[in-house]
DNA sequence: TTCCATGTTCCGCA
DNA sequence: TTGCGGAACATGGA
């Protein structure tokens, strides 16, 4: 689940449920999820605010921040009765409720970091595409002298932080750009279109999700099947591998 | 049983 | 140097 829009939902969920309460205990059910720092140090503290950068969630706990990366199957669950099946870390609050980080495949990370800025710096993350500073000019600069494939570039978190496999395909689909095109060979108009569509796709995804609505049929994500009909031009949807990931695109209008 | 998965990282090779 | 493919990680669902 977790690309930028999903993590944005997690951030809002965290904000709604887990702020302001004293953490009574932190239970680590599977240490493979945790980094090197000791989450126990959160005991007695409260989460004061939440931030997101790309696919990373941060929660301010005073002089340290909780950092969560959701891997492929990470999720949050605030509950009062039974913990979810794949709970890996559980925060017990003094009101008797709990916040569980669940993760079936264990690719996620729950750790502490000095601050979101420090984390972003240490890991060399690029701009968040919904950040104000991510303007067309910045995007254009990222593509300059990049010989790699445009899809690979969109997936690279050091370039832009937050786009994953699904939304990379979606943005390219809307922009009529073939995922194997060389990044530095896109025409000016295409760069602009792609920039606009990256933001639009992510913003719309957040909007649909926050309403609990399904994505409409015009989204490629509803047609991720070899041989399906393109909702935009009637062409044929193809499945291939680009940048090591399963990629769907319309063979007719993506060039 | 086999294949696949919305992520990241590491290694070998061109 | 840059970028690519492949493998690895771990696990359940179709």
The gap between A116 CA and C11 C1' (Å) is 30
Backbone angles phi, psi at A34, to 5 degrees: -90, 150
A62 Rama class: left (phi>0) / alpha (psi -120 to 50) / beta = left
Measure the CA–CA gap between A4 and A52, rounded to whole angstroms: 9
Question: For residue range A162-210, what is the model confidence (pLDDT) as tens digits?
Answer: 999 999 999 999 999 999 999 999 999 999 999 999 999 999 999 999 9
Q: What residues contact residue A86 under an 8 Å CB cut-off, 6+ apart? A: A73, A102, A103, A104
A222 beta carbon to strand B: under 7 Å = no
> What are the tokens at A245?
């990931």
pLDDT beneath 50, residues of chain A? none
DSSP letter (8 states) at residue A183: G
Q: Is A245 in the active site?
A: yes
The gap between A55 CA and B5 C1' (Å) is 18
* Residue-level pLDDT at A1: 66
Is pTM beyond 0.85? Reply is yes
| Residue A220 neighbours by CB distance under 10 Å | 25
* Residue-level pLDDT at A145: 86
A132 beta carbon to strand C: under 7 Å = no
* Residue-level pLDDT at A38: 87
Catalytic member of A2, A5, A116, A179: A2
A246 beta carbon to strand B: under 7 Å = yes
A52 beta carbon to strand B: under 7 Å = no
């Amino acid at each position: 689940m977790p690309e930028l829009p999903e993590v944005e939902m997690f951030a809002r969920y965290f904000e709604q449920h887990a702020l302001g309460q004293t953490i009574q205990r932190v239970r680590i059910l599977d240490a493979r999820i945790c980094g090197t720092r000791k989450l126990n140090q959160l005991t007695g503290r409260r989460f004061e605010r939440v931030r997101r950068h790309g696919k990373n969630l941060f929660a301010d706990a005073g002089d340290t921040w909780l950092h969560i990366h959701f891997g492929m199957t990470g999720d949050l669950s605030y509950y009062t009765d039974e913990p979810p099946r794949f709970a890996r870390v559980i925060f017990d609050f003094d009101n008797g409720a709990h916040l569980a980080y669940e993760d079936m495949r264990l690719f996620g990370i729950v750790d502490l970091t000095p601050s979101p800025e420090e984390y972003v710096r240490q890991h060399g993350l690029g701009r968040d595409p919904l950040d104000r500073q991510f303007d067309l000019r910045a995007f254009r600069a990222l593509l300059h002298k990049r010989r790699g494939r445009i899809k690979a570039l969109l997936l690279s978190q050091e370039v832009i932080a937050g786009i994953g496999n699904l939304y990379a395909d979606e943005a390219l689909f809307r922009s009529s750009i073939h995922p194997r095109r060389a990044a530095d060979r896109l025409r000016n108009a295409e760069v602009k279109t792609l920039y606009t569509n990256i933001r639009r796709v992510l913003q719309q995804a957040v909007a649909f999700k926050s309403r609990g609505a399904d994505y409409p049929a015009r989204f490629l994500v509803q047609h991720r099947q070899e041989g399906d009909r393109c909702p935009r031009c009637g062409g044929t949807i193809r499945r291939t591998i680009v940048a090591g990931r399963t990629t769907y695109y319309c063979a007719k209008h993506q060039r």
